[in-house]
Amino acid sequence: MKISARNNLKGTVKKIIPGVVSTEVTLEIAPGVEVVSVITKSSADQMHLSIGKEAYMVIKATDVMVGVD
């Protein structure tokens, strides 16, 4: 499926912290650049995520803020 979310960042799973309802997943999307996601535990289980696996961070453009120093 092609999705309207403008951001698809390819990376490698670095860390998985499972909770009761939510699971925290960290991907490295470029050398030294990590993105953290919180998804439902069910989704994480269904996708069989594991350390070292290739995956994508998918983010809707309206959910991205811009910061400047």
Contact positions toward a second copy, by CB under 8 A?
1-9, 17-25, 27, 29-31, 33, 35-40, 42-44, 47-49, 53-69
Distance CA 42, CA 54 (A): 19
CB 44 within 8 A of CB 25: yes
Please report how close the Cβ of residue 44 comes to a second copy at its closest, in angstroms.
Answer: 7
Question: Which residues sit opposite 45 in a β-bridge?
Answer: none
Please report how close the Cβ of residue 50 comes to a second copy at its closest, in angstroms.
Answer: 10
Please report how close the Cβ of residue 13 comes to a second copy at its closest, in angstroms.
Answer: 8
